[in-house]
Structure 1
Amino acid sequence: MKYTTLPNTDIKVSKICLGTMTFGEQNSEAEGHAQMDYAVANGVNFFDTAEMYSVPARQETYGSTEKILGSWFKKTGKRDEIVLATKIAGPNPNFTYMREKNDFSPASIKFALDHSLQRLQTDYIDLYQLHWPERKTNFFGKRGFESQEDGWEDNIQEVLETLESFIKAGKIKHIGLSNETPWGIMRFLNESKYNHLPKISTIQNPYSLLNRQFEVGSAEICMRENVGLFAYSPLAFGVLSGKFLTGESHPNARIKLFPQFSRYNSAQCNEATQRYSEIAKKHGISLAQMALAFVNQQAFVTSNIIGATTLEQLKENIGSIDLVLSDEIIAEINAVHAVIPDPAP
């Protein structure tokens, strides 16, 4: 395993992070425990979850993933060996079952944080993230920004002050954002700088061979402001494993089970994936490991969040850390990207 440092901290984290959103939906508690056992045995010390998991979010499984992590911590006693990241959900009219108001008010943050701590059976979170913005902006498969009246009043200073209070109380160590735009990242950085408030360590956004939009704007911010990308969906819901190119049926794949997540299911994505697959075959490597290694090698990436539903998949994904892509392979990847740039929004 390779390790890096969580920006603005002295915390060492594995370059591969175990994503857990399938625990409680596609994976049972026993399977989730087995994945965590395997990941730790192979050097992974970074786990990511969220209060709304498992995915797709629904009232019946709300908090199920955090509960599975909590039972593993209790069983193994390894909480202090793990750098634990979780998230508070932002506004969504479908998530009223989570709490009275899905916002980032002091009361909502306190409620969400305390309940996450209970489910996780811990008294602190290493990295607490805002899952998506309160304001309406372009995220979750929406490529461009459209001006709209959303009633949002800038409360970023108050949000940081609230998070600071929980840092002082020992419930949170560090903070991060998720599904944020360059504007949002800079607003948080400016508030922390000019008001002497906690600085974000990471931004968790999608990043893969099918979606490199982070490189436009946000990557420069990360490099210049010492913020790390916490990359999610590096295999594009399994599309970049190449399994959908064979013509075989995969009824239990995420993209088949949850057709509402359709960003990776397009003719352009299929064409780009086919071309990337040809590069992998030419060089005698697996497409999945090539896709993950590409993310691992980016200088602005702090950790690559990999998810799996089987131990076989998990083994291959973690093994990508040992693959270093040559300049020739990178050039060939970039040639495809130039022709079919960011087919998945």
Structure 2
Amino acid sequence: MQYRRLGSSALEVSSICLGTMTFGQQNTEAEAHAQLDLARDAGVNFIDTAELYAVPARAETYGASERIVGSWLRRQRRDQIVLATKVAGPARGLSWIRGGPPALDADNIRAAIDGSLSRLQTDYVDLYQLHWPERNQPMFGQWQYDPARERECTSIHDQLEALSGLVKAGKVRYVGLSNEHPWGVTEFLRLAREHALPTVVSVQNAYNLLNRVYEYGMAELCAREQVGLLAYSPLGFGLLTGKYLDNPSAPGRLTAFEGFGQRYGKPGVPAAVAAYAQVAKDFGRTPTQLAMAFVVGRWFVNSTIIGATSLNQLKENLAAADMTLSVDELAAIEAVHLQWSNPAP
């Protein structure tokens, strides 16, 4: 297992981070603990969760993933685990989360961290992330900014002030963003400098062979500003494993939950998936190996977040992450990318 510095922080994180959004929905507590044990034994020291999880979000499973991680965490040496969680943003119709939540204001952020710490059975988290922006932004499969959808929102300065309070209270070590865009990252960094507030050290965005939008504006910005990428969905909700090519109804999140993974229902996705599967076959790899090794090997990726519903899946993902793609393989990937560029933004 490789370890990398997370952005400008002092955190050394494994190149693989175990994501937990299946815990409490597709995985029982015992199954989740088995995954956590396997990942830990493989050298993974980085665990990512969120108050929203399990996914798909439901009132009945709100906070389940954090509770399951917490019951495992209490048996570990806390200083050997890098723990990340997230506060849910507004405007998603999640009425069971603090009544909306209406905003990422100080009251909501304080309530969210206190709930998370209680469920996680710890007195601090290493990385606290804003799950998605409060302001109007294209997210989760949308790809165009629409100024007509502007709305009132908590200022980024006030959000940073609230996060600063958590850092000063010792509840949070570092802060990060998720599902963010270049303007948002720039504003968080600018305001942090101007007002001596916490600097964001990471951004957690989707990144995989079907969605390389991060490379266009975010890669340079984050490299120059020392903001690390936590890449999620490296397998594109399972599509890049190739399992849906011959069996569109194969078991998985896309078939188990209606309307789940809308980002991957766009017209160019099947052709791109098939093309990448052919590249993998040409070089004697599985599609999973190709997709995972590509993301883990990118120079701007600090850690790749993987999720699994079985120990066998987790083992395959962990093994693929240790592989290095050849120059010829990378060239073949780029050829497909130029033909089928970002079909799932």
TM-score, normalization by structure 2:
0.97
Partner of 1:5: 5
In 2, Cα distance between the equivalents of 1:66 and 1:207?
Answer: 24
Mapped pair 1:77 → 2:76? yes
Question: Equivalences for 1:31-110 in 2 at 5 Å?
Answer: 31-74=31-74, 76-102=75-101, 103-110=103-110
TM superposition shift of 1:317:
0.5
Runs of 5+ consecutive residues of structure 2 not aligned to the other structure: none
Question: Equivalences for 1:1-345 in 2 at 5 Å?
Answer: 1-74=1-74, 76-102=75-101, 103-153=103-153, 155-247=155-247, 249-250=249-250, 252-260=251-259, 261-345=261-345
- Letter in structure 2 aligned against 1:190: R
Runs of 5+ consecutive residues of structure 1 not aligned to the other structure: none
Question: Any conservation in 1 of the 2:91–2:100 contact (CA below 8 Å)?
Answer: no
Query: More displaced, 254-263 or 109-118?
Result: 254-263
Question: Any conservation in 2 of the 1:134–1:152 contact (CA below 8 Å)?
Answer: no
In 1, Cα distance between the equivalents of 2:294 and 2:61?
Answer: 33
Consecutive aligned runs of 4 or more in structure 1 exceeding 3 Å deviation:
none
In 2, Cα distance between the equivalents of 1:223 and 1:93?
Answer: 31
In 2, Cα distance between the equivalents of 1:132 and 1:292?
Answer: 24
Secondary structure, aligned partner of 2:272: helix
Secondary structure, aligned partner of 2:83: strand
RMSD (Å) for aligned C-alpha atoms:
1.3
Query: More displaced, 3-12 or 38-47?
Result: 3-12
TM superposition shift of 1:151:
2.7
In 1, Cα distance between the equivalents of 2:88 and 2:266?
Answer: 28
Question: Any conservation in 1 of the 2:136–2:151 contact (CA below 8 Å)?
Answer: no
- Letter in structure 1 aligned against 2:84: A
State the identity as a percent: 49
TM superposition shift of 1:104:
1.2
In 2, Cα distance between the equivalents of 1:255 and 1:216?
Answer: 27
In 2, Cα distance between the equivalents of 1:101 and 1:239?
Answer: 32
Question: Any conservation in 1 of the 2:131–2:177 contact (CA below 8 Å)?
Answer: yes
In 2, Cα distance between the equivalents of 1:97 and 1:165?
Answer: 25
Secondary structure, aligned partner of 1:54: coil
Question: Any conservation in 1 of the 2:47–2:82 contact (CA below 8 Å)?
Answer: yes
In 2, Cα distance between the equivalents of 1:153 and 1:311?
Answer: 42
TM superposition shift of 1:77:
2.7
Cα deviations by residue, 1:143-162 (Å, 9 ceiling, x for unpaired): 11111243324611111111
- Letter in structure 2 aligned against 1:344: A
Cα deviations by residue, 1:138-186 (Å, 9 ceiling, x for unpaired): 1110011111243324611111111111111110000000011111111
Question: Any conservation in 2 of the 1:2–1:321 contact (CA below 8 Å)?
Answer: no
